[in-house]
Homo-oligomer: A and B are copies of this chain.
Amino acid sequence: MGADSPVLLATVSLVSALQMGYFAWRAGLSRMGHKVLPPSVTGPPEFERTFRAHQNCVECYPVFLVTLWTCGMFFSDVTAAAGGLVYVIARQIYVNGYAKSTKKRLPAFYPTLAVFFTLSLLGLIGMLHGILHKYFHIHL
């Protein structure tokens, strides 16, 4: 395994994937606890909040993976992995908060956005470097 092996990015990806599995399991538990029979997705507010928190994570997850890997491959894998850990922690607080009340989802939503913004920007800088290098032979 060479020095350019993306083992840090892969580790953060797998941790976040396991977290997604945990959120799905939690929505399932809430479904059973509130006797909401599938395929229905409506029921008591507690269930709907837990369900919707998971859905929000489902919407965000591919975006997260793309920003994690583009930043990690074209800027710095350590920076990207650190951002990824912030994302995983923020999502945990987000889902915990949303399960309690709609308002409590917000404090941990902004760090999610900050991670997306930072990883995207750094990834974009790295990729512009790469494009200038590969297609225009310009080395900054």
Residues of A within 8 A of B (CB): 1, 3, 5, 7-8, 10-11, 13-14, 16-18, 20-21, 24, 37-41, 45, 48-49, 51-54, 58-63, 65-67, 69-70, 73-74, 98, 102, 105, 116, 120, 123-124, 127, 129-131, 133-134
Contacts and interface: CB of A to CB of B under 8 A. Distances in A.
Copy tally for this chain in the complex stands at 3
A54 to B, nearest CB: 7
Given A10-B127, A14-B127, A66-B17, A45 B52 contact: no
A25 B16 CA distance: 22
A122 B1 CA distance: 16
Given A7-B74, A14-B124, A58-B62, 12 more contacts: A1-B130, A1-B133, A1-B134, A7-B127, A10-B69, A11-B127, A14-B66, A17-B66, A39-B53, A58-B58, A58-B59, A62-B65
Closest 10 pairs between A and B when the two form their complex, measured CB to CB: A39-B52, A7-B130, A17-B66, A39-B48, A17-B63, A14-B70, A10-B70, A13-B66, A39-B49, A1-B130
